[in-house]
Amino acid sequence: MKMNRLLIAACLGLLPLALDAQMLDPALLTRPATDAWPTYNGDYSGRRFSTLTQINQSNVKGLTLEWEHRVTDVPGDGTIVGGKGSDPAPNSSTPPEIKATPLMVKGILYFSTPDNAWAVDARSGHQLWHYFWKTTGGIHIGNRGMGIYGNWLFFETPDNYLVSLEASTGKERWHVQIADVKQEYFSTPAPIVVGGHVIVGTGGDSLDVPGFLEAHDPETGALQWKWWSEPLKKGDAGSETWPDEYSMRHGGGMTWIPGTYDPELHLYYIGTGNPNPVESGRSREGANLYTCSIVALNVDTGKLVWYFQGSPHDTHDWDAAETPVLFDGAFEGKPRKMLAQAERNGYFFVLDRTNGENLVTAPLLKTLNWSKGVNSQGQPIGNSEKEATISGVLVSPASGGATNWPPPSFDPETNLFYVNTEASFSVFYLTDTDPHPEGYAGAEREIGSYGTELQAIDYKTGKAVWSHRFPSSGFPKGILTTAGHLLFTGDGSGHLIAFDPANGKILWHAGLAAEISNGPETFLLDGRQYLVVAAGDSLYAFTISQ
């Protein structure tokens, strides 16, 4: 209703000209992005598939660098300074790393790093404004980006504030606290705007606190609803999977990564983090719902509609926060509304997104050794002999996972799911033998890996149709597919690569100054298709030479 009121107000001339001119059409979020990239994954589905074809297999070799923009988190002349800290100084001794996928609306790119937000001209790479947040603390591990509602931007800070800025100027509108940094929460997700809700989550590793997701009013920042990823007391749904209230209230389950949304079902889907204590289940016998789960929430109320837990009673730090990708198609001869996730624990899952029914469970790695198989609900069955011990036990994958937060892609033309994976090994050691350990109760020594591999997975079987093993290792990279029959991703040597999504043939590559650090995106601007990707502290924009 609030978006409707805004639209009416704009028509009546009751809003500032900037808001009227920049008004984001919410319909853009329900279809593949073309002349905008208005949310973290381009649209609500999480497929990261573009219908644009101007850059295609016939001309991709003509793709050249149009501009490069390098950022610094040092406040300069004209920087807008806000925040709760005392000193507007750089918050890190290292260059900022752009893990955000920039939004692109009306020819302007909006993106963020921890404590910083920028607006950059998408045609030239010229900076329009820079906002700097004076932090009070928090772990500055990364920031996934921003959300937009009309002319209002939203991003989260490491010390757990949701900040709203004017898109046209970078001026702060308001900020509200999401969580207490003294409890060692720290916020990394990109806010997702659904109707009149700004949906935000948070992270946290060190101290045993419960995870949550919440929605805020875009006009005022007021809290609308809050969903906890664990039950809070005995008798609550899921409480039977924890031994007591203490373990529930210290149980983890962070909401690190933005989710996806089905406007027809009115459901928001998100993956939750691992339970605490980490790498030991000594004080939390049971499945530990709703950690390591894909959950479907009613977007207006935050009420849980269904869940699927991919790692019951996780003891290896394998969160399930990876993007849940939405698509429609045939399964066993019947049309289905589906959700697919490549999970950090080394499994690929396909669910019916209307009810959470498991359709496919398949291993991503041949080296996977922590489970005994799969139960009748499609859940992996953990092997207790692969839990951390004082003397150590060899496990694959390592805690970093078979994959991680960088986004996958689903191409509706090939009907393949694409994800970068790593077949890694670690020895897990139990380091805290207390009956009630806190924080990290285990440690690991990484032994090595077989390297990173791009997989093209048939969602009907969970098996790879083709794969490409990169000669150099590296953190799995984000992926973009397009109707130009192209797949863009990166390797561990600083290359941006275009593949044929049908067979994995390399069609083009470019060397960057660092490994790509976000998910590539593409959009049409002034009749030209751009490809934009981040690598370290720089954004790169490519187009076809004219």
pLDDT digits (tens, 9 = 90+) for 52-89: 999 999 999 999 999 999 999 889 889 999 998 887 65
Residue 93 has pLDDT above 60, yes or no: no
Q: Judge whether 273 and 291 are in contact, CB under 8 Å.
A: yes
**Taking 90 as the threshold, does the pLDDT of residue 511 lie above it?**
yes
**CB-CB neighbours of 436 under 10 Å:** 14
Per domain, the residue ranges of the chain are 2-544
Average pLDDT over residues 266-274: 97
Separation between Cα atoms, residue 160 and residue 177, nearest integer Å: 6
At residue 5, does pLDDT exceed 60?
no
Q: Hey, how many other C-beta atoms are within 10 angstroms of the C-beta on 516?
A: 26
Residue 14 has pLDDT above 70, yes or no: no
Nearest CA to 238 among 281, 290, 276? 290
Q: Structure tokens of 292?
A: 């390591």
pLDDT at position 307, please?
A: 98
Contact 236, 278 (CB under 8 A): no
pLDDT at 10 over 90: no
Output the average pLDDT for the chain.
92
In this predicted structure, which of 47-51, 353-357, 374-378, 469-473 has the lowest mean pLDDT? 469-473
pLDDT, residue 472, reads: 82
Q: Please tell me the total number of residues recorded for the chain in this structure.
A: 546
- Res 405 pLDDT > 80: yes
Looking at residue 91, its pLDDT comes to 58
- More confident site: 423 or 435: 423
Q: Does domain 2-544 have CATH number 2.140.10.10?
A: yes
pLDDT confidence of 94, banded at 50, 70, 90?
confident
Whether 361 shows a pLDDT value over 70: the answer reads: yes
Q: What is the pLDDT of residues 430-489, one digit of tens each?
A: 999 998 888 899 999 999 999 899 999 999 999 999 999 999 888 999 999 999 999 999
Q: In 289-346, at which residue ranges do the beta strands (DSSP E only) sit?
A: 293-298, 304-309, 325-331, 334-342
What is the helix (H) or strand (E) element at residue 8, kind and residue range?
A: helix 2-11
**Is 398's pLDDT higher than 90?**
yes
From the candidates 262, 314, 317, 411, which is the catalytic residue?
A: 317
Mean pLDDT of 107-119: 97
- Among 309, 179, 185, smallest CA distance to 238 is for 309
Q: What is the pLDDT of residue 24?
A: 60
Q: DSSP for 52-79?
A: --SS-TTTGGGEEEEEEEE---S--TT-
Q: How far apart are the first and last CA of the chain?
A: 45
- Here the tokens at position 236 are 């609550």
Give the model's confidence band at 1: pLDDT under 50 very low, under 70 low, under 90 confident, else very high: very low
The beta strand positions in 207-331, using DSSP E, are 212-216, 223-228, 260-262, 267-271, 293-298, 304-309, 325-331
What is the dihedral angle through the alpha carbons of 322, 326, 332, 333, rounded to the nearest 10 degrees? Answer: -170
Instruction: State how far the alpha carbon of 290 is from the alpha carbons of 224, 307, 434, in Å.
Output: 21, 8, 24
Report pLDDT digits (tens) over 135-193. Answer: 999 999 999 999 999 999 999 999 999 999 999 999 999 999 999 999 999 999 999 99
CB within 8 Å of 472: residues ≥ 6 apart: 451, 452, 491, 492, 493
Is 11 in a helix, a strand, or coil?
A: helix
Q: Label residue 15 by pLDDT band (50, 70, 90).
A: very low
- For a pLDDT cut of 90, what percent of the chain falls above it? 86
- Confidence (pLDDT) at 90: 55
- Regarding predicted confidence, which is higher, 92 or 471? 471
Task: Establish whether 159 is a catalytic residue.
Answer: no
Kindly report which listed range (259-263, 474-478, 520-524, 536-540) carries the lowest average pLDDT score.
Answer: 474-478
Question: Given pLDDT bands bounded at 50, 70 and 90, which one contains residue 23?
Answer: very low
Global pTM?
Answer: 0.94
Cβ pair 28, 36 in contact under 8 A: yes
Structure token pair of residue 301:
């109320």
- What integer pLDDT is reported at residue 4 of this predicted model? 42
Any residues with CB less than 8 A from the CB of 411 and at least 6 apart, and which? 47, 49, 418, 481, 487, 501
Cα dihedral 179, 180, 184, 190 in deg (nearest 10): 30
Complete DSSP assignment for 160-187: SEEEEEETTT--EEEEEE-S-GGGT-B-
Among 85-94, 289-298, 448-457, where is mean pLDDT lowest?
A: 85-94
**pLDDT bracket for residue 18 (50, 70, 90):** very low
Long-range CB pairs of 8-13, under 8 A, 24+ apart, other chains included: none
Per-residue pLDDT band for 505 (boundaries 50, 70, 90) equals very high
CB-based contacts of 260: which residues, under 8 Å, 6+ apart? 41, 44, 45, 46, 268, 269, 270, 323, 324, 325, 326, 339
Cα separation of 147 and 192, whole Å? 6
**Better pLDDT: 96 or 93:** 96
Q: What's the confidence (pLDDT) of residue 74?
A: 87
Residue with more model confidence, 195 or 419: 419
CA distance 22 to 210: 38
Q: Decide: 198 and 217 in contact? Cβ < 8 Å.
A: yes
Please give the average per-residue pLDDT across 31-58, as a whole number. Answer: 95
